[in-house]
């Protein structure tokens, strides 16, 4: 069972991830002490973290973490403005990224730790 939206918000705050803005179904965050954006996207009742598509090379590494579930399809949303665009249905393209859901708080903590590790090289 996936953890709830409010639990993710609370845990991201504990992990010192900074919030930049929240619009409709998406909230933009930055990793602690890094200028790396990611989004918390609420798809119906399921909350997902969305990271830049450049991390596709690490998708298997993230999916190996216990309780981390990689989504098959890209997540598209116009308000994820720090991400690149790709043409899907609209002529101008839409921002997109890799989406993940989490079975537990520990899974989310491990995911954020892995993301920080990747960014610090």
How confident is the model over 44-95, as pLDDT tens digits?
888 999 999 999 999 999 999 999 999 999 999 999 999 999 987 667 899 9
Q: Which residues are paired to 22 by β-bridges?
A: 27
SS3 of residue 64 by DSSP? helix
What CATH code would you report for 5-119? 3.90.1150.40
Cβ-based neighbour number of residue 87 at 10 Å = 9
Specify burial of residue 91 (Cβ count, 10 A radius: 0-12, 13-18, 19+): exposed
How confident is the model over 18-45, as pLDDT tens digits?
999 999 899 999 999 999 999 999 988 8
pLDDT averaged over every residue in the chain: 94
The pLDDT value given to residue 107? 97
Please tell me the distance from the alpha carbon of residue 63 to that of residue 17, in angstroms, as a whole number. 21
């Amino acid at each position: 069972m996936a953890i709830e939206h409010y639990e993710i918000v609370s845990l991201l705050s504990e992990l010192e991830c900074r919030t930049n803005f929240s619009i409709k179904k998406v909230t933009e965050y930055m990793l602690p002490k890094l200028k790396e954006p990611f989004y918390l996207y609420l798809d119906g009742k399921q909350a997902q973290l969305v990271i830049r598509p450049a991390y596709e090379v690490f998708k298997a590494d993230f999916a190996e973490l216990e309780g981390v579930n990689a989504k098959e399809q890209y997540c598209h949303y116009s308000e994820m403005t720090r991400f690149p665009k790709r043409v899907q249905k609209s002529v101008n393209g839409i921002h997109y990224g890799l989406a993940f859901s989490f079975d537990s708080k520990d899974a989310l903590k491990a995911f954020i730790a892995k993301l920080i590790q990747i960014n610090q090289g």
